[in-house]
Amino acid sequence: MERNKITEANTKPPTDTNSEFSRWTKQLEQLAQAGVKQEIAQHKAAGRPIFYSKQGVPIMELADGCCFEYRHLEDGTREIIREVPQE
Protein backbone atom coordinates (compact mmCIF):
# COMPACT_ATOMS: atom_id res chain seq x y z
CA MET A 1 0.00 0.00 0.00
CA GLU A 2 2.77 2.44 0.89
CA ARG A 3 4.54 1.65 -2.39
CA ASN A 4 1.42 2.67 -4.38
CA LYS A 5 1.32 6.04 -2.64
CA ILE A 6 4.93 6.71 -3.55
CA THR A 7 4.36 5.71 -7.17
CA GLU A 8 1.26 7.89 -7.44
CA ALA A 9 3.07 10.82 -5.89
CA ASN A 10 5.95 10.44 -8.33
CA THR A 11 3.69 10.43 -11.38
CA LYS A 12 1.99 13.74 -10.61
CA PRO A 13 3.99 16.67 -12.02
CA PRO A 14 4.25 19.84 -9.94
CA THR A 15 1.57 22.45 -10.62
CA ASP A 16 4.05 25.07 -11.83
CA THR A 17 5.30 22.62 -14.47
CA ASN A 18 1.73 22.20 -15.73
CA SER A 19 1.27 25.93 -16.17
CA GLU A 20 4.67 26.23 -17.87
CA PHE A 21 3.69 23.40 -20.21
CA SER A 22 0.33 25.09 -20.92
CA ARG A 23 2.09 28.35 -21.78
CA TRP A 24 4.50 26.48 -24.05
CA THR A 25 1.70 24.65 -25.88
CA LYS A 26 -0.29 27.88 -26.35
CA GLN A 27 2.79 29.62 -27.73
CA LEU A 28 3.50 26.69 -30.05
CA GLU A 29 -0.10 26.74 -31.29
CA GLN A 30 0.07 30.49 -31.96
CA LEU A 31 3.34 30.13 -33.87
CA ALA A 32 1.95 27.25 -35.93
CA GLN A 33 -1.21 29.20 -36.80
CA ALA A 34 0.84 32.25 -37.79
CA GLY A 35 3.02 30.05 -40.00
CA VAL A 36 0.01 28.50 -41.72
CA LYS A 37 -1.54 31.93 -42.33
CA GLN A 38 1.74 33.14 -43.85
CA GLU A 39 1.99 30.09 -46.13
CA ILE A 40 -1.62 30.53 -47.28
CA ALA A 41 -1.02 34.21 -48.04
CA GLN A 42 2.11 33.39 -50.06
CA HIS A 43 0.30 30.61 -51.92
CA LYS A 44 -2.60 32.92 -52.84
CA ALA A 45 -0.22 35.79 -53.74
CA ALA A 46 1.34 33.44 -56.29
CA GLY A 47 -2.13 33.03 -57.85
CA ARG A 48 -2.68 29.45 -56.68
CA PRO A 49 -5.94 28.26 -55.11
CA ILE A 50 -6.11 26.75 -51.65
CA PHE A 51 -8.21 23.73 -50.77
CA TYR A 52 -9.91 22.89 -47.49
CA SER A 53 -13.19 21.59 -46.17
CA LYS A 54 -15.84 23.54 -44.31
CA GLN A 55 -18.35 21.44 -42.38
CA GLY A 56 -17.41 18.46 -44.53
CA VAL A 57 -17.82 20.33 -47.84
CA PRO A 58 -14.70 20.46 -50.05
CA ILE A 59 -13.85 24.09 -50.82
CA MET A 60 -11.53 25.61 -53.42
CA GLU A 61 -10.64 29.23 -52.65
CA LEU A 62 -9.13 31.22 -55.50
CA ALA A 63 -6.44 33.84 -55.07
CA ASP A 64 -9.07 36.60 -55.33
CA GLY A 65 -11.01 35.12 -52.41
CA CYS A 66 -13.87 33.54 -54.39
CA CYS A 67 -14.85 30.17 -52.93
CA PHE A 68 -16.38 27.19 -54.69
CA GLU A 69 -17.67 23.82 -53.63
CA TYR A 70 -16.13 21.22 -55.90
CA ARG A 71 -15.77 17.51 -56.43
CA HIS A 72 -13.11 15.33 -58.00
CA LEU A 73 -14.04 13.47 -61.15
CA GLU A 74 -12.78 10.01 -62.06
CA ASP A 75 -10.43 11.45 -64.70
CA GLY A 76 -8.64 13.49 -62.01
CA THR A 77 -10.17 16.84 -62.87
CA ARG A 78 -12.34 19.00 -60.63
CA GLU A 79 -15.96 19.97 -61.20
CA ILE A 80 -17.24 23.20 -59.67
CA ILE A 81 -20.61 22.54 -58.04
CA ARG A 82 -21.49 26.03 -56.83
CA GLU A 83 -20.04 29.27 -55.57
CA VAL A 84 -19.93 29.48 -51.79
CA PRO A 85 -20.62 32.88 -50.22
CA GLN A 86 -17.65 34.42 -48.45
CA GLU A 87 -17.93 35.00 -44.73
Same domain, yes or no, for 7 and 39?
yes
Determine the pLDDT at residue 18.
73
Count of domains in the chain? 2
**What's the rounded Cα separation, in Å, for the pair 51 and 49?**
7
Residues 40, 78: one domain?
Answer: no
Looking at the structure, tell me whether residues 40 and 6 fall in a common domain: yes
**DSSP for 44-77, written as a single string:** HHTT--EEEEETTEEEEE-TTS-EEEEEE-TTS-
The conformation of residue 46, written as its DSSP 8-state character, comes to T
User: Cα 4 from chain centroid?
Assistant: 41
> Closest Cα to residue 63, out of 39, 85, 46?
46
Whether residue 60 sits in one domain with residue 26: no
pLDDT tens sequence across 18-64: 788 899 999 999 999 999 999 999 999 999 999 999 999 999 999 99
Q: Are residues 4 and 32 in the same domain?
A: yes
Say whether both 65 and 83 belong to one domain.
yes
Q: What is the pLDDT of residue 60?
A: 96
Answer yes or no: do 40 and 12 share one domain.
yes
Which residue segment(s) compose the domain that 80 sits in? 49-87
Tell me what pLDDT residue 52 has.
94
